[in-house]
């Protein structure tokens, strides 16, 4: 077995992800495994240049799932109303071969130009040719929402991989603290730079708009999130 660094994140009641097959340690072999019928649908996989995460860990409802729901709704409507491209939400698999990366971001956006130029292609499911199972190439934007188990993965390893993949914007949200942190990182000379301090409105070049994330309490005392665009 080629040397890899493995992270197994158990699910409810201690359920563990499947063991990594001995022949799935390279990026190409890992991709074949996770897109095969044998790979469980309830496992979230990530491969970053020899480091692998297999997760069944449930999301925090207040600081992860609700945030993802708001971003998905707002960005998807923004893209559809302006006919900008395609939005892929939760559990969409993206792979970039030069970056040796495969993962499932919380949200990603592919412009029509990226698809029409071949910058992004879709891989078909072998069993059903009318379905696609993997996005291959360089999307225009990816979003990751931090959880307790993903801080290093999201802030370090995936950030480096997204830079190598030349993804123009990396959106990063951390809603776990007393204040929410939302950053739009812009790719400049091969490295990400923050468009603004994390607690201020963020400017997106991809969408040509400014986004601001707010959080309040609802009638039950739980969190509600609002992503404003201007």
Q: Give the β-pairing of 169-174 and 141-145.
A: parallel
pTM: 0.96
Distance, in Å, from the CA atom of 36 to the CA atom of 163, rounded to the nearest integer, reads 28
Per residue in 183-230, pLDDT (tens digit) is 999 999 999 999 999 999 999 999 999 999 999 999 999 999 999 999
pLDDT tens string 132-183: 999 999 999 999 999 999 999 999 999 999 999 999 999 999 999 999 999 9
Nearest to 139 by CA among 157, 112, 177, 159: 112
Candidate CATH numbers 3.40.50.360, 3.10.20.90, 3.90.79.10, 3.90.1570.10; the one for domain 59-229: 3.90.1570.10
The Cα–Cα gap between 118 and 114 comes to 6
Domain locations in the chain as residue ranges: 59-229
Give per-residue pLDDT as tens, 84-115: 999 999 899 999 999 999 999 999 999 999 99
User: Any residues with CB less than 8 A from the CB of 96 and at least 6 apart, and which?
Assistant: 102, 136, 137, 138, 161, 164, 165
d(CA 110, CA 51): 26
Q: What is the pLDDT at residue 2?
A: 64
Residue-wise pLDDT for 124-134, tens only, equals 887 777 789 99
């Amino acid at each position: 077995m080629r040397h890899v660094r493995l992270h197994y994140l158990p699910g409810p009641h201690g359920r563990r992800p499947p063991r990594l097959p001995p022949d799935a340690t390279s990026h190409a072999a890992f991709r074949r495994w996770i897109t095969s019928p044998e790979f469980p649908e309830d496992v979230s996989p990530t491969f970053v240049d020899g480091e692998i995460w297999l997760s069944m860990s449930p999301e925090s409802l207040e600081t992860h799932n609700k945030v993802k729901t708001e971003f998905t709704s707002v960005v998807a409507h923004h893209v559809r109303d302006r006919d900008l491209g395609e939005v892929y939400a939760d559990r969409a698999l993206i792979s970039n071969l030069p970056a040796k990366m495969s993962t499932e971001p919380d949200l990603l956006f592919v412009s029509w130009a990226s698809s029409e130029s071949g910058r992004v292609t879709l891989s078909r499911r072998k069993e059903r040719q009318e379905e696609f199972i993997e996005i291959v190439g360089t999307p225009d934007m990816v979003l990751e929402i931090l959880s307790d188990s993903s801080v290093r993965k999201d802030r370090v390893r995936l950030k480096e991989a997204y830079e190598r993949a030349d993804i123009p914007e990396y959106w990063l949200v951390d809603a776990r603290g007393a204040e929410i942190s939302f950053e739009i990182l812009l790719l400049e000379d091969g490295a990400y730079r923050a468009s603004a301090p994390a607690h201020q409105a963020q400017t997106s070049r991809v969408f040509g708009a400014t986004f601001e994330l707010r959080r309040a309490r609802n009638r039950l005392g739980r969190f509600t999130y609002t992503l404003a665009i201007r």
